[in-house]
Amino acid sequence: MQYREFLTDAVGASLQYEAPGGWIPAAPPECIRLHTGYPAPSLVPVDQLAKTMADVLEGERDLPLQYLGSPSAARLRGCIEHLMGLRGIDVSKDLTLVTSGSAEAIDLISRTCLDAASVVAVESPTYMEAIETFHNYTDQVLSIPIDAEGLRTDLFENLLVERKSRQLQLPKLVYTIPSFHNPTGVTMSVERRKHLLQLASRFHFLIVEDDAYGELYFANRPITLKELDREGYVLYLGSLSKVIAPGLRIGWVTGPSTLISTFDRFKKDLGHPLVEAAVARYLELGDWNLRITRLREAYRRRRDVLLGALTEYMPADVTWVEPQGGYFTWLYIPGVNTLSMLPLALAAGVSYVAGEHFCVHPKDGIQNLRLSFSYVDEQDLIRGVQRLSDVIKAARRLP
């Protein structure tokens, strides 16, 4: 039987794109995993989470195992709003919806705001899972280059003006990771942030601000678009994936109540009360500032080690971003196709994510790759860069 006919036309069209996870390199066990955007295993608070999980089940018995009724789970939203306050964000005029990671928030936004007629704009490069999600709902995904100051709002303005003059559909949403951007590590300047907000007001689009890395700054805390937003154009996405652990699947979206309550209809009761209860108790331990300070220091050290190794070992024409926070840097390797080089790298015992996976138009990232300094320890960061440098030199010697 042909099952394709049961799918909607829009879904049928989305099947043209690569299936999820296609970007994950087949890294053998002993490989130094510079592709992995996970927190360092040593920085995941396993024992504390095991304790709060045990406490929840001991104290609340079956309640967190039913759909509703766990007092701890019910407090999670308040805990998250408290974290938002620590980030300088006024949550009083908005609603916050807890989601299954920011991935679910991106999906809920897409599901409710995008159909085949809709246009969405993203940075180039950007978080590959966001591209995948948008492509599930529309093939009209515009990409705007970024440079060392983030999204090129000047180019975006030109594009908007041109589309308007040609009576083309304008984007409904722009998705951006303004601070310690995935995959590049770049942070958007304050001037660009203000310009982007002006454009939102002038051309009437929503800004989806993905701030998964915002708290992991190494020097100064970047101001969020949400803090600068006077007119209500920003949907702010937060996540505990990078600051506690991604497997908890705790993210959130904060924004205008009309939109958030619509997302909630589509989310239904798909929360995870047991995990939510344990995480609420963990956040209530009250040592958040201590924890986040420790993370900043640890990841800054890893960043320094990685950049030091790149300087020492990379061929002279290879360039990279010096991230001021987050997990990633982004290499530019002139003349090398990073996807073609990947099997060589894996064979040499080092992995990365090829740049084209982060681009709506794969050719835009063909000479780039993403390195993560979050997951492997300092010694392996150095060994990984040495191996990668050798692989690049070898790739260039190939016919």
Q: Which stretch binds a copy of itself (CB under 8 A): 119-127, 252-260, 348-356, 389-397?
A: 252-260
Out of 92, 165, 220, 258, the residue judged to bind a copy of itself by CB under 8 A:
258
The binder of a copy of itself chosen from 25, 27, 31, 70 (CB under 8 A):
70
285 binds a copy of itself per the rule CB under 8 A? no
User: Does residue 265 interact with a copy of itself by CB under 8 A?
Assistant: yes
**Using the rule CB under 8 A, is 44 a contact of a copy of itself?**
yes
Q: How far is the CB of 175 from a copy of itself (least distance, A)?
A: 14
Site membership for a copy of itself, residue 30 (CB under 8 A) = no
Site string for a copy of itself, 289-328 (x = CB under 8 A): ----------------------------------------
Residues 109-168 that bind a copy of itself (CB under 8 A): 111-115, 118, 129, 132-133, 136
Q: Binding a copy of itself by CB under 8 A: which of 120, 146, 234, 275?
A: 275
Based on CB atoms, which residue is closest to a copy of itself, 122 or 307?
122
Pick from 81, 157, 264, 364 the residue near a copy of itself by CB under 8 A: 264
Q: Which is nearer to a copy of itself, 320 or 375 (CB)?
A: 375
State yes or no: residue 200 binds a copy of itself (CB under 8 A): no
Q: Quick check: 176 and 127 in contact, CB under 8 A? A: no
Among 16, 29, 30, 67, binds a copy of itself (CB under 8 A): 67
The only residue of 15, 86, 285, 347 in contact with a copy of itself, by rule CB under 8 A: 15
Q: Report, in Å, the least distance between residue 210 CB and a copy of itself.
A: 15
